[in-house]
Amino acid sequence: MKEYKIIRVLNDNKVAKYEIHYYVDGVVETIEAYYGNIKDGFILNDNLPITSNLDGITEEENEYNIKVLNLKETQLWRLRTILKLMNLETTIEDALNQLDEPNQTAAKNVWNYGTTVERYSQTVLFIQSVLQMTDKQVNEIFIQAEAIQI
């Protein structure tokens, strides 16, 4: 006999994900899935039917989760625009000036001449550390950067 139970949890980045526990003859298996992995009552890729419902997630929360999951990279000018509007650009430039060579030159080249930056790149992790920001705060900056319309 098969039974399924969905448990909604938040991962380290505060993004809702689901632990799907399924029991076959008393033996439990666990699969992690995001909302986007669940469609038409099935977990995509595993093709497992879901008999539970997903009560408790709002449409707004779902949209945010999808945005965060799609944060792979952004154009650097977008990121710098948001940071400048937040009055943080000078703090970052000061931190770049404190780096030892050759890291200082490389980091300044990325900051000044780069075209795109990946969400989990060393550059972004350095900026996050300098600004003492949480993952959620950095995610928000990336979302805002992607939303710039010109």
Q: How does DSSP assign 99-142, residue by residue?
A: SPTTHHHHHHHHHHH-SEEETTSHHHHHHHHHHT--HHHHHHHH
Local confidence band at 114 (pLDDT 50, 70, 90 cut-offs): very high
Q: For the chain, what is the mean pLDDT?
A: 76
pLDDT exceeds cutoff 70 at 44:
no
Residue 39, strand partner residues:
42
pLDDT exceeds cutoff 50 at 53:
no
**pLDDT for the residue numbered 25:** 63
Q: Is 31 helix (H, G, I), strand (E, B) or coil?
A: strand
How far apart are alpha carbons 103 and 100 in whole angstroms? 6
The residue that leads in pLDDT, 36 or 115, is 115
**What are the distances in angstroms from CA 74 to CA 4, 78, 83?**
38, 7, 13
Residue 74, strand partner residues:
117
Q: Is 49 helix (H, G, I), strand (E, B) or coil?
A: strand
**pLDDT for the residue numbered 1:** 47
**pLDDT for the residue numbered 90:** 93
pLDDT exceeds cutoff 70 at 49:
no
Contact 7, 18 (CB under 8 A): yes
- Picking from 115, 47, 109, 105, the residue whose alpha carbon sits closest to that of residue 75 is 115
How far apart are alpha carbons 3 and 51 in whole angstroms? 8
**Lowest-pLDDT choice from 36-45, 78-87, 98-107, 116-125:** 36-45
pLDDT exceeds cutoff 90 at 93:
yes
Residue type, 119: R
